Amino acid sequence: MKKTLMIGLDGATFSLLKPFMKDGTMPFLRRLVDEGVHADLMSTRNPLTPPAWISMVTGRSPHVHGVYDFLRPSYLDDGSVFLSINDSRNISCETIWAMVNRHGRRATSLNFYGMCPAFQVDGYLASGFVPWKHLRRGMYPPSFFDMVRSMEAFDYRSLGMDISEEKKCLQGLVEDEQEDWIRLQKKRDTAWTDLCCHLMRTDRTELTAVVLDGPDKLQHLFWRYVDANYLPEEPDERFIHIRDLCLEFYAQLDRNIKSMVETAGPDTNVILTSDHGFGATTEVVYINEWLSRRGLLTWANDAEDGGAGNLTANKMKDHLGMIDWKSTTAFCPTPSSNAIYVKKGNATTNGVKDGEYLEFCLNLKRELLDYRDPASGEQVIVDVDLNKLEGTPYVEPSPDISIRLRDGGFVSILKSDEIVVPRENPEGTHRPNGIFVAHGPDVKTGVQVEPLNLLDITPLLLHFLGLPAPENLEGRVPSEILRSEAAYAPRIEQPNVTKLPVRSRRKREDASPEEKEALISMLKVLKYID
Amino acid sequence: MKNTIASMKKTDTRSEIETTVISVLTELVEDWDLEMEEELNANTRLIADLGFESIDVVQFAVSLEQSFGKDGLPFERLFMRNGDYVEEILVCDVVQFLENNL
């Protein structure tokens, strides 16, 4: 039986990879593209890791699976807002791992966002975004952790995520941290590669899937060192040194891909995907400040301002304490959300009453789109979606309004003297178009097709495994990439709906507001992200 | 007699809670390579003795909720005093909190 390998490259973009393929930095990827199929892969409405990876492995949109961001806002009775961390229990849909298991096939899932606490799979599961101290809780079966811990090829702690390091993606690095940061990403990606290869050699499952998140981490902080559009005419020694380190990162990435594909063997259908693309952000837009000036948000007296182009506060207790919640009607909770949440009003707290919601949102949308940069007179917010007014069911906590900035960047939630502030240097940010590469016995050769959607990945993986797809998946099998395109006929699973996840180890009911309050209170107490 | 029986039951419950808390905590830190002079006990300090950071507290609370099968425990009452954050938490503090809130 043919096997399938999926390699996720977080944040990978052809705008970087194609030049690297051309200049010899990534020769193996070039070979995969030349011998296979490639296309842009369009991300979720907000091209962001949590909604995008979960959409990719469930085949459902964020408004169905319910994960829109790293954090989710909740409301207390007194009108205050707190943020809790999304985890596997918040995913309202069945994953590809469970779909595969239902048909008697085994699956290996490595380093995907949102898979912790770990749940039962027939195969192996190791969640991404888990600090090394808690990797045991992020792995299934329980013996998997002990096996990983005993491996000599790498220090198992390399598989973990250091939260204090992760925050630097948004806040930046000081100069003497740069080399270590790049080396850390190489080390982590190589550790996941080694684990993936080890499992393929020792206990191969029909589906093996792994994410390498180094590209995203590196590109956020070093975009201007790798994007040809931003290279200085006369780079200094320091710039050349950092750029060389970045290029070596991509060369190692290519070796990692080669290692996994060769270990998988020629009878394996391989796909490479990314959750979103990347590009430059050249300014900071202070969206909560914009709301404040319209009387919709009230700053607390000690609100931190956005000095040095920061998008968010260093500490969560400051983050949550910036806003006078009782006097606030609309707010953006996190930079990564690129969203505005509208509070519902009641007798004691500010907010919008149900009967006024439509008019409120329509007016706010118009104001957002009408807003002009005082310096240039140009439009700043180029797209606004009223998510709860589209006639589509949604899982809470759906943002009321999603916005897209003219430079594709993330907003800042801090207080500021100005709404729009140019960045001193361009930084990396997300773009909607990620990458798709396919190679293998069932895939055409040397073809580029029109952009696909990441919702197509679950149906495609099921097809490669010879399995039917639940009818309620939102994507399709992109038959145009298949050698047997002419003979392709969709296979629909009956009954025709995906099944909600069953957590075998720890049964959990729907989360209560109190649970989330407890979790985020702890984040406040211990200064979320020390 | 009634009070004695009630207090005995309360003691049993507290003892059971403490056993579970220590068991959860032991499992949580077993991979941390801690050099502890003595086994985890009621007087173990989460921050000074075990080096707890923010995410560790989150994970510990989630594990406790899952072990006791109870959602929505008001952990902020454990971690805050008079509007400010506590500097340290002992295992016995956690036990007392759970005894009051389960």
Range list for CATH 3.40.720.10 in chain A: 3-68+83-276+432-513
Long-range contacts, A364-369 (Cβ 8 Å, 24+): A364/A296, A364/A330, A364/A340, A364/A401, A365/A401, A367/A294, A368/A401, A368/A403
Q: Distance from A517 to chain B by nearest Cα, in Å? A: 8
Q: Would you say A405 and A380 are in contact if contact means Cβ atoms under 8 Å apart? A: yes
Neighbours of A462 (CB within 10 A): 25
Average pLDDT over residues B74-80: 73
| Cα–Cα dist A379/A77, whole Å | 37
* Percentage above 90 pLDDT, chain B: 37
State whether residue A383 is helix, strand or coil: strand
For A3-68+83-276+432-513, give the CATH class: alpha beta
* Percentage above 90 pLDDT, chain A: 70
Confidence of residue A530 (pLDDT cuts 50, 70, 90): very low
Confidence of residue A510 (pLDDT cuts 50, 70, 90): very low
Question: A87 or A313: which carries more pLDDT confidence?
Answer: A87
In sequence order, what are the beta bridge partners of A403? A384
User: Which structure tokens are listed for A390?
Assistant: 């589209």
**Is the Cβ pair B71, A136 closer than 8 Å?**
no
Question: A310 or A440: which carries more pLDDT confidence?
Answer: A440
| Cα–Cα dist B59/A118, whole Å | 13
Long-range contacts, B92-98 (Cβ 8 Å, 24+): B92/B18, B92/B42, B92/B43, B94/B21, B94/B46, B94/B64, B95/B14, B95/B17, B95/B18, B95/B21, B95/B42, B98/B17, B98/B21, B98/B64, B98/B68, B98/B73
User: Domains (ranges, CATH) in chain B?
Assistant: 14-101 (1.10.1200.10)
How much is the pLDDT for A492?
83
**Is the Cβ pair B73, A515 closer than 8 Å?**
yes
* CB proximity B97 to A under 8 Å: no
pLDDT digit string, tens, across residues A251-306:
999 999 999 999 999 999 999 999 999 999 999 999 999 999 999 999 987 665 65
* CB proximity A149 to B under 8 Å: yes
pLDDT digit string, tens, across residues B4-21:
445 545 565 999 999 999
| Cα–Cα dist A204/A196, whole Å | 10
How much is the pLDDT for A503?
46
Name every chain B residue with its beta carbon within 8 A of the beta carbon of A148.
none
Name every chain B residue with its beta carbon within 8 A of the beta carbon of A77.
none
Task: Report ipTM (2 d.p.).
Answer: 0.72
pLDDT digit string, tens, across residues A226-249:
999 999 999 999 999 999 999 999
Average pLDDT over residues A452-469: 96
Residue of chain A minimizing CA distance to B61: A519
Q: Measuring CA to CA, which residue among A303, A306, A316, A428 is closest to residue A71?
A: A316
Q: Distance from A510 to chain B by nearest Cα, in Å? A: 9
| Cα–Cα dist B42/A205, whole Å | 45
Confidence of residue B30 (pLDDT cuts 50, 70, 90): confident
Scan for tokens 């020769």, then name that residue: A27
Average pLDDT over residues A397-415: 94
Name every chain A residue with its beta carbon within 8 A of the beta carbon of B31.
133, 135-136, 145, 149
Core vs surface per residue A169-194: b (16+ CB within 10 A) or e: bbebbeeeebeebbebbbebbbbbbb
**Is the Cβ pair A530, B32 closer than 8 Å?**
no
* CB proximity A133 to B under 8 Å: yes
Which amino acid type is present at position A312? T
Name every chain B residue with its beta carbon within 8 A of the beta carbon of A514.
71-74
**Is the Cβ pair B63, A137 closer than 8 Å?**
yes
**Is the Cβ pair B79, A529 closer than 8 Å?**
no
Residue pairs spanning A and B at CB distance below 8 A? 90
Confidence of residue A344 (pLDDT cuts 50, 70, 90): confident
Work out the mean pLDDT of chain A and round it to a whole number: 88
In sequence order, what are the beta bridge partners of A74? A82
Predicted confidence (pLDDT) at residue A67 exceeds the cutoff of 90: yes
Name every chain A residue with its beta carbon within 8 A of the beta carbon of B56.
131, 133-134
